[in-house]
Structure 1
Amino acid sequence: MINLDRSADRLAFITEQAASLGFAFERIPAVDGRNLPDWLKSEFPADCKMGQGAIGCFASHLLAAQAVVARALPFAIILEDDAELQPGFVSIAKTAIAALPDNWDYLYFCSAGKKSVIRVCSIGSEHSVVRYTWAPANTVAYALSNRGARKRLAVMPRVRPIDIDNRFAWQQNLKIYGVFPAVVRQQREFVSTIKGAGSGVRWEPSPLAMFAGYFWTIREVGVRNFFAAAFMNLVNSARKRFDGIQRIAIISDLSGLNARREPAHPDG
C-alpha cells in the first residue's frame, strides 16, 4: 500500500478496511515529488511536463514494481491510500487472479472507464474478468504480475502520469485486464496529493502511434470483439445525449479470448 509519511489519515483509512476485510498489507512509503531521491531523478526527463505530485506518484509505483521483482513475487496487489474496497474484495481478487492467463501484466480492480468492455470469463454471478479497448486512467487498486513489473521498470521515457501512461498499453505491450463492475472506488473526500499533474497538457502520443495502437488493440481483443465494442460505444454515446445516462456495455466474447479456466464462484 502506497502512502506518504504525512498522510496519517489515509493510512488509518486503509488500516481500518484491512482489519474489517481480513487482510494484511505492507506499507510502501510514497515518494514526495518535491524531494525526489537522486537515484530516481534519472527516471524522469528534465523537460517532463508532469507536476511534482504526479512524478512522486509515478516514482512510488516504480518502488512497488521494484519490490515485486526484487522479491521474485509472482504478483502483488498494489493499493493507493485512498482506495475504498467493497465487501468481498479479497475473495473476488483471488478468484480473478486465478482466472487470468499466464501472460497477464495488470489486473485493474477500479475499472471506472466509460468505454465498452469485453468479458473474458465470469467470476461469480455479478462480476467478470474483462479486457479493455480503452483502459481506464486509474491506478488506485490493481494486481501487478512479476512480468508486468519488469515491463514497468524497463528503461523508457516517463513523460506522463502513470495512470495515463498505462492507457497507451501497446507502447509497452502491457496485457491489462480488469474486474467489472469495479470492486474498488477512489475515495474522493481526501484532498488530492497529486495536484498540478500537467493541466492542459495533451498526453497522447503521435497520431501515427495512436493508429498503431488501434491495430495492437484489435490483435489483443479480437476483430469481432473490437468492432462490437466500438458499435456499442456509439450506441451508448447517442443514448447519453438523449437521457444523460452513462452506460458501459459488456461484450460477450466473440473471438475466443484465452482465460486459463472458468473459475469457481468466490466465497462471500
Structure 2
Amino acid sequence: MKRLVINLDRSPDRLAHTTAEFSRIGLGFERVAAIDARDHPELMLQRQHPLYAVRRLSGSEIACLHSHRACWTIIAQDDAPYGAVFEDDMVFSAKAGALLADTSWIPADADVVKLETFFHTTVIQRERFSVGGGFSLFRLRKNHIGTGGYLLSRQMARALLEATADVNVAVDSLIFDPAFATSGGKTIYQLVPALCAQEQFVGNRLPSLVEPGREAEWVASGLAGGHRMPALARIRREARRAARQITDLCRLRRQIVVPLAPVEAND
C-alpha cells in the first residue's frame, strides 16, 4: 500500500516534520507535490458545488482539493486495493507503523477508513470491529471534518476523481459529509482511537495553511460573526438536535470525540 504525503514545494519545514514522523514509526512514504493556489489562479474559475453558493471556497481550499486529486490518481492507477493519503502536518501514534505497514485489517467492504481525529463531535455506529493493537473500527455516520489522514480503496479513488472532474468542493466534505452522494452511499469507517492528528492540536507549531483563506471567505460572505439567532430559531435548532440524538439512539449510534492514540510508546 502506498503512503502518499501532500507537501508544497515552499514548505520544506513541513516535509522535514513528516520525514521525522515516518522515521519514528519505521516507515517510508512517497511525497506528492501539492498544488499551489498562487501558481494556479485558473482553478478558481472552475464551477463550485451549489452548497458553496453563499460562502465561496478559498483558493487554498480549491488547491487542497486538487492536491488530493493527485493522490487519488496515483491510487486509482495502482495495483494495490488501497492507498493512504496524508497531509504534511500529521503527528502519528506510536503504534501507527504496524497498521500502516499492512492492509489485512481493513474490512473488505471499506471504501474509506478515516485514520485521524479533528477532536470534533461526530457519530459512529455502536458495532465495533477490533483490528488489534488496541484499535477498533466503527462505521462513521456523521461528517467528521479533516482529510489529514485516511485510507482509500482504488474504486473510491476513481469515484472521487469522477465526482470532481469539473467542480470544486471542500475535500473533507466530499469524502465524509453524508450530504454528498460520494459519501452518503459509501462504507466509511472511523479508526478509534485515531492513528494521527494535525500537529496544531498536539504541539501548535504547524498552523493550518487552509484556514486563513477559509476565514477570509467567511468574512467576505458576511457570515462571519453574524447576528444572534432569534429565540424561536434557537428552540427549533435544539429540537432538531434532540430529535437526531433520539434517532441515533434508536439506530444504535453514539456521539464521540475520537481520541488520539498515545504518541509516545508505552513500555
- TM-score using structure 1 length: 0.69
Please list every run of 5 or more consecutive structure 1 residues that lacks an aligned counterpart in the other structure. 203-222, 234-246, 251-267
Q: Which moved more, 1:129-138 or 1:165-174?
A: 165-174
Alignment deviations for residues 57-99 of structure 1 (CA, whole Å, 9 cap, x no partner):
110000000111223332111110001111010213456x423
Sequence identity (%):
23
Count of matched residue pairs: 214
For residues 249 and 55 of structure 1, the distance between their equivalents in structure 2, rounded to whole angstroms, comes to 27
Aligned 8 A contact 2:145 2:173 in 1: yes
Which residue of 159, 166, 177 corresponds with 2:175?
166
- 1:22 equivalent to 2:26? Answer yes
Aligned 8 A contact 1:43 1:158 in 2: no
Alignment deviations for residues 17-37 of structure 1 (CA, whole Å, 9 cap, x no partner):
122211111100000122228
SS where residue 122 of structure 1 aligns? strand
* 1:65/1:249 CA distance change after superposition, 3 Å: closer
* 1:133/1:155 CA distance change after superposition, 3 Å: closer
Which residue of 140, 143, 146 corresponds with 2:148?
140
- Correspondence list, 1:33-182, <5 A: 33-36=37-40, 41=43, 44-45=46-47, 49-94=56-101, 97-112=103-118, 113-118=120-125, 119-124=127-132, 126-156=134-164, 158-169=167-178, 171-172=181-182, 173-182=185-194
Aligned 8 A contact 1:117 1:130 in 2: yes
For residues 11 and 74 of structure 1, the distance between their equivalents in structure 2, rounded to whole angstroms, comes to 27
Alpha-carbon RMSD across the aligned residues, in angstroms, is 3.1
SS where residue 101 of structure 1 aligns? coil
For residues 75 and 61 of structure 1, the distance between their equivalents in structure 2, rounded to whole angstroms, comes to 15
Please list every run of 5 or more consecutive structure 2 residues that lacks an aligned counterpart in the other structure. 224-246, 260-266
Alignment deviations for residues 134-179 of structure 1 (CA, whole Å, 9 cap, x no partner):
0310100111110110111014463431112223345123321121
Alignment deviations for residues 113-132 of structure 1 (CA, whole Å, 9 cap, x no partner):
41332244112263201111
SS where residue 57 of structure 2 aligns? coil
* 1:9/1:66 CA distance change after superposition, 3 Å: same
Q: Which moved more, 1:107-116 or 1:53-62?
A: 107-116
